[in-house]
């Protein structure tokens, strides 16, 4: 058994998360596909807590944690931070929230993220929301995001696209093979994308015909 997983498992034992039934939706899609934007809308309408793995990692850097420099370097290079770091932050945030419905945005980003989360928390997602968007559109959005992010520059953006294609898409394909992916055309305007998102979150009996 890997020591990383052992340590993380110990963290999970006896936690609230293992004792109660939680609803988890993984929100995936390339960088700039609109995950954060749509999660904010979903929170307002459907009572979920939004946890962005990227936001949690950036907060960890700001907090002056001992992992801060390592995380900063990985983000600047568009690389994926070791799972035990990200999973610990997600678990803490889930427990502190006191809620039981979570949108987990930008996670799992690779097979290691996926398998470790499942092993450590025992949680499987109810479904996976996948924002499908062409690279040219994502590039345009990232270059005009203006949030002062160290990774929204053209060199890092290209690296992030490569990591998405090589490491993250296989995770989406894995969930697709289990019938869990709800794919959304994310190239449309924000409001149109949210219309499609709403359909996914609305129980089929409640949908209003138009």
Which positions lie near ligand C5P, rule CB under 6 A? 31, 52-54, 57, 74-75, 78-81, 86, 106-107, 109, 113, 151, 160
User: Applying CB under 6 A, does 78 fall inside the site for ligand ADP?
Assistant: no
What's the half-sphere exposure (Cβ side, CA atoms, 13 Å) at 109?
22
Site for ligand ADP in 146-165 (CB under 6 A): none
**Residue nearer to Mg ion on the CB measure, 11 or 137:** 137
Distance separating alpha carbons of residues 202 and 210, to the nearest angstrom: 15
Using CB under 6 A as the binding rule, the residues of this chain from 30 to 59 that contact ligand ADP are: 31-37
Q: Quick check: 82 and 93 in contact, CB under 8 A?
A: no
Q: Furthest-apart CA pair in the chain: how many Å?
A: 55
Check the annotation: does 113 bind a ligand.
yes
> Which CB atom, from 37 or from 72, has the smaller least distance to ligand ADP?
37
- Tally of CB atoms within 10 A around 137: 16
State the binding partner of 41 from Mg ion, ligand ADP, ligand C5P, none, CB within 5 to 8 A by kind. none
Of 30-49, which residues contact Mg ion (CB under 5 A)? Answer: 35-36
CB of 47 to ligand C5P, least distance (A): 23
Closer residue to ligand C5P (CB): 107 or 131: 107
- Is 65 a known ligand-binding residue? no
96 class by beta-carbon count within 10 Å (0-12 exposed, 13-18 middle, 19+ buried): exposed
CB atoms < 10 A from the CB of 166, how many?
Answer: 10
**How is residue 194 written in tokens?**
């949210």
Partner whose binding site includes residue 145, from ligand C5P, ligand ADP, Mg ion, none (CB under 5 to 8 Å by kind)? ligand ADP
- Closest separation between CB of residue 154 and ligand ADP, Å? 15
φ, ψ at 87 (rounded to 5°)? -65, -40
- What whole-number distance in Å separates Cα of residue 28 and Cα of residue 109? 8
Query: Peptide bond preceding 108: is omega within 30 degrees of 0, i.e. cis?
Result: yes
Residues in contact with Mg ion by CB under 5 A are 35-36
Residues in contact with ligand ADP by CB under 6 A are 29, 31-37, 141, 145, 189-190, 193
Binding residues for ATP: 32-37, 145, 188
């Amino acid at each position: 058994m890997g020591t990383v997983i052992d340590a993380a498992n110990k963290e999970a034992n006896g936690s609230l998360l293992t004792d109660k039934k939680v609803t988890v939706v993984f929100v995936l899609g390339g960088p700039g596909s609109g995950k954060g934007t749509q999660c904010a809308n979903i929170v307002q309408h459907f009572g979920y807590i939004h946890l962005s793995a990227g936001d949690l990692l950036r907060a960890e850097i700001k907090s002056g944690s001992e992992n801060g420099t390592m995380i900063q370097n990985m983000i600047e290079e568009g690389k994926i931070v070791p799972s035990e770091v990200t999973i610990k932050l997600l678990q803490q945030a889930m427990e502190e929230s006191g809620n039981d419905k979570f949108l987990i945005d930008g996670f799992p980003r690779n097979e290691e993220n996926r398998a470790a989360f499942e092993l450590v928390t025992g949680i499987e997602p109810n479904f996976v929301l996948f924002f499908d968007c062409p690279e040219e559109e994502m590039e345009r959005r990232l270059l005009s995001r203006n949030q002062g992010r160290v990774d929204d520059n053209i060199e890092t953006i290209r690296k992030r696209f490569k990591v998405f294609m090589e490491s993250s898409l296989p995770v989406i394909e894995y969930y697709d093979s289990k019938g869990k992916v709800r794919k959304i055309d994310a190239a449309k305007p924000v409001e149109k994308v949210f219309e499609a998102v709403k359909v996914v979150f609305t129980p089929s009996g409640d949908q209003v015909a138009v």
